[in-house]
Structure 1
Amino acid sequence: MRLRNKPWAHDEINKEPTIVIANPEQQKGNWNNIFGNNNPIHIEVGTGKGQFLTKMGQAHPHINYIGVEKYTSVIITAMERVRDDNISNVKFLNKDVMNLVDYFEKGELDQVFINFTDPWPKARHEKRRLTHEGFLKLYESLLKPHGEIHFKTDNQDLFEYSLHSFSKYGMILNNVSLDLHKSNMVANIMTEYEEKFSAKGMRIYRCEAVYR
């Protein structure tokens, strides 16, 4: 996917430091102070334009959400959504997922969402997949015991790879769906990509993986 360059995005983001946290490494271990409560913290890695997370924040006001997105030209839209709808329990980091340990303390998170991530189909790029063992270790180091990963994708190969990766890591798989929109799941909040793909009749794959 080619992203449009938005040279003005950095300046706009800097105007909203309470939404896009400028120096997240300074908040490590203290995110509940940022939100002003002790509610659970859920993060989305690769949050994109923020539709999923903003709607989750509105639907679940007693959960704190943090979206991590490295592309400034994309996260600006997510920031605008939170600002315009005055959503207080959603924050963003304009950072790379690779550096999560710099921003969160061990056991500070409750849940991780991975939605429609780049499948990185070539074998030489396997370690870049967000469900690779290396990333599973990263998430585990930040999640509370028995923390969860909720994963959605339109890519069957990535889904099969991820199921194997979760299982090999020793995680428990729950609510595995090979066609989410034809399942009996209720209250499913869609991402932008999910709306686009499902409108074309494409299958959406979903599962929940729990650390033992």
Structure 2
Amino acid sequence: MGKNKLKKFADMSTFRCALQYPREVLLKEGFPYVGKWHEDFFGNEGGITLELGCGKGEYTVALAKSNPARNYIGVDIKGARMWSGAKEVEETGIGNAAFLRAEIENIDKFFAPGEVDEIWITFPDPQMQKTRKRLTSVRFLQMYGKFLKPGGVINLKTDSPFLYEYTRRLAELNGFEMLVNTDDLYGSGMADPVSSIKTYYESQWLSRGKKIKLLSMRVPDFSNLQEPDSSDIEKDDYRAYPRHTVQPQNVSSPDL
């Protein structure tokens, strides 16, 4: 492990805004803020928005800056990656943002029923071969339903045509209330100041000519959800390039 990564891990352990509870810590210690995020951590009654798979934390930080009356929590297991956002929060004194280093598979262990108002899922791995690992699958949606308040909103922002189509079919099959549904956010004129916030990875996809998709939805009933048939959805072929790499200009991109 490089010295720079070790330093970031050391920094994270000193940041008040960074809570580190990977599975082994969670099992050993439990989590102290379940049902107490407002009173014991944020010290206010503002609504809570989660960003799942927050990466460097740009979205979480930008959201917190844009709306000081609401609280924002970025979740990722990569501590060295989210260090960037956590460091900015610490240095600038942003009081309505936090970062939780934990596996998303255990996310229901960190919140009480109805404690979260909104979820953002930003550019997750589409998991084209493993339905259960998709962050918009029935497995994860039912997990979110344990702590999302009635009428809470789930947002998916993605570059993946596969994940967009899969999630759109799941929403249609289960009768979700669709608030936003676009396969070309910036070309549709539907972008607003919140959905227009761009992460590092989003900028990479846009530089490669990829269209950004957005689904915002309410789930009326998290019980008895059904998985859609996704066997005929065309797979994303541009994943052969690393997510952090801009596609070479002399290689044509598939039309999305």
Give the TM-score normalised by the residue count of structure 2. Answer: 0.77
User: What secondary structure does 2:31 align onto?
Assistant: helix
In the alignment, is the contact (CA less than 8 A) between 1:180 and 1:204 conserved in 2? yes
Ranges of 4+ aligned residues in structure 1 off by more than 4 Å? none
Aligned residues: 206
Tell me the equivalent position of 2:215.
Answer: 207
Does residue 176 of structure 2 align to residue 177 of structure 1?
A: no
2:20 and 2:78 map into 1 onto residues whose CA distance is: 14
Quote how far apart the aligned CAs of 1:85 are. 2.7
Tell me the equivalent position of 1:130.
Answer: 135
Does residue 198 of structure 2 align to residue 190 of structure 1?
A: yes
2:203 and 2:186 map into 1 onto residues whose CA distance is: 11
Tell me the equivalent position of 2:118.
Answer: 111
Q: State which of 37, 41, 44 in structure 1 corresponds to 2:44.
A: 37
1:169 and 1:32 map into 2 onto residues whose CA distance is: 32
Quote how far apart the aligned CAs of 1:166 are. 2.4
Quote how far apart the aligned CAs of 1:154 are. 0.4
In the alignment, is the contact (CA less than 8 A) between 1:50 and 1:81 conserved in 2? no
Does residue 34 of structure 2 align to residue 28 of structure 1?
A: yes
In the alignment, is the contact (CA less than 8 A) between 1:131 and 1:166 conserved in 2? no
Q: Identify which range, 200-209 or 76-85, moves more after superposition.
A: 76-85
User: What secondary structure does 1:55 align onto?
Assistant: helix
2:186 and 2:71 map into 1 onto residues whose CA distance is: 26
Quote how far apart the aligned CAs of 1:77 are. 1.5
In the alignment, is the contact (CA less than 8 A) between 2:164 and 2:183 conserved in 1? no
In the alignment, is the contact (CA less than 8 A) between 1:52 and 1:192 conserved in 2? no
1:146 and 1:177 map into 2 onto residues whose CA distance is: 21
Tell me the equivalent position of 2:87.
Answer: 80
Quote how far apart the aligned CAs of 1:59 are. 0.5
Quote how far apart the aligned CAs of 1:181 are. 1.1
User: Comparing both chains, which one has the higher relative contact order based on Cα–Cα distances under 8 Å and sequence gaps of 6 or more?
Assistant: 1
Quote how far apart the aligned CAs of 1:126 are. 1.2
Task: Identify, as 1 or 2, the structure richer in helix.
Answer: 1
Give the TM-score normalised by the residue count of structure 1. Answer: 0.92
Quote how far apart the aligned CAs of 1:5 are. 8.0
Tell me the equivalent position of 2:17.
Answer: 19
Q: State which of 52, 57, 62 in structure 2 corresponds to 1:50.
A: 57
Identity across matched positions, percent: 29
1:86 and 1:196 map into 2 onto residues whose CA distance is: 29
Structure 2 unaligned blocks of 5 or more: 22-29, 221-256
In the alignment, is the contact (CA less than 8 A) between 1:133 and 1:169 conserved in 2? no
Quote how far apart the aligned CAs of 1:174 are. 1.8
Aligned-CA RMSD value: 1.6
Quote how far apart the aligned CAs of 1:168 are. 2.8
2:198 and 2:108 map into 1 onto residues whose CA distance is: 28
Quote how far apart the aligned CAs of 1:208 are. 0.3
User: What secondary structure does 2:206 align onto?
Assistant: helix
Quote how far apart the aligned CAs of 1:146 are. 1.0
User: What secondary structure does 1:81 align onto?
Assistant: helix
In the alignment, is the contact (CA less than 8 A) between 2:20 and 2:102 conserved in 1? no
Larger radius of gyration: 2
1:122-168 alpha-carbon deviations (Å, 9 max, x no partner): 1xx11000000010101111111011101110010111011112233
1:5 and 1:169 map into 2 onto residues whose CA distance is: 46
Quote how far apart the aligned CAs of 1:22 are. 4.0
User: What secondary structure does 2:172 align onto?
Assistant: helix
Structure 1 unaligned blocks of 5 or more: none
2:210 and 2:218 map into 1 onto residues whose CA distance is: 27
Tell me the equivalent position of 2:8.
Answer: 9
